[in-house]
Chains A and B, each alone.
Chain A
Amino acid sequence: MKLYLYGIIDFSNQITESIYGLEGSNVYNIPFCDIGAVVSEISQPIRDVTEGAVLEHEAVVEKLMANFTVLPVRFGTVVNSRDELFSMMESYYRDFKSNLARLHNKLEFGIKVIWPADKVKANIIRVLKKDEQTIESDNSPSKRFIEEKFEKYKIDKEFEAKANRFIKIIDIFFGKFAAEKKLEKLKTQNLLLDAVYLVEKDKQRDFKEALEHIKNANYPGFKYLFSGPWPAYNFVILSRQSGLLTDSQQTNDILDKVTQCQALVGANSI
């Protein structure tokens, strides 16, 4: 029987709470020195990322999160034996310990912001048109090409500058309650911000209230998606490359999937 790995925790005894994971199997802790690897037995490796399996994985990690500091492990991580698990734990023990200490008592929250990109762009064009000189039609094709490109360049530059200004404002609301943050700008024209914040547990109420404050600031056309608390998927830092812990792309994929699944089934959404 193989072992499906959910996370590394700062606890080296057996978990007293009954937790069931993938395939309905009992979830238990395998101690290594003063930390532990939380696993369940699984009959075969995970081949497909299904919504159900992602939610089950996430739910186990969240349950652990209630009582321990957790380093969430990449979805679908299966080890063949206890020996293989111990070997991995030995290799990464120092990394695990430092991350567990850094992430102790902290939670991850996600903020996504959609802005009215079309309107913003239209405004920029309107303002630029006021001051611009018209492109002279008797210019050579290559010069006209440059002039057209330059117009687009000015619009894009201003669009990006506006995006940066709004992101700065949004970050003022949330950033003051965060220990760490990762902000991604303009993943699409409309998706102004895709951010994750690492927040201390005793500041999560303030952080949540920041959402209400920014909504009250009433930026027309802005829409917000708030999610969390999540395990610190995006804030685990390893000193060397590992396939075990979550990388940011897979993390985002998982969080997006969980977010979508939860919102669609209405699970705990406000």
Chain B
Amino acid sequence: MIANAIVETDALEEFIEEIEKAKDCLPKKIDANPKTVEKGLAKLVLTLIELIRKLLEKQAMRRVEAGSLSEEEIENVGETLMKLENKMDELKEIFGLKDEELNLNLGPLGDLM
């Protein structure tokens, strides 16, 4: 028995590719089996840090856009964000994680980032 719903598109392969891409970057759970528990936990912690880092960065950009930061403040914020980003890169390398892996699917709440 085959379902009757219609599927109509002129770019099926492209849609399949995009759907797969969207799924690949969203692990549903932390991989915490005995062999990979360290990486699994690192991923969770780094995901949360990355979320905070992105929020800080976005807030800084909004303030730059609004012109509400002095030259000195821009220097300080720039240095902080740069160091934070470098440190995150180091940690990602240590645990073998890619940028797109630092996300979580929160079920009905959607994606973390």
Contacts and interface: CB of A to CB of B under 8 A. Distances in A.
Interface string B73-106: 0111111011000000000000000000000010
Contacts of A20: 1
Interface string A37-71: 00000000000000000011011101100000000
B108 interface: yes
Given A60-B1, A146-B78, A249 B7 contact: no
Interface string A140-161: 1111111001100110000000
A112 B19 CA distance: 10
Interface stretch (B8-16, B34-42, B44-52): B8-16
Q: Chain B interface secondary structure, helix, strand, loop or mixed?
A: helix
Interface residues of A, number: 51
Interface in B52-83: 57-58, 60-61, 64-65, 74-79, 81-82
A230 B4 CA distance: 9
Q: Chain A interface secondary structure, helix, strand, loop or mixed?
A: helix
A225 B11 contact: yes
Contacts, number: 140
Contact of A258 (B3, B11, B12, B105): B3
A187 B107 contact: no
Interface in A214-252: 223-230, 247-249
A247 B108 contact: yes
19 contacts: A62-B4, A112-B18, A142-B74, A142-B75, A142-B76, A149-B57, A150-B61, A150-B64, A188-B21, A190-B18, A191-B21, A225-B11, A227-B5, A227-B8, A253-B23, A260-B19, A262-B5, A267-B7, A270-B6
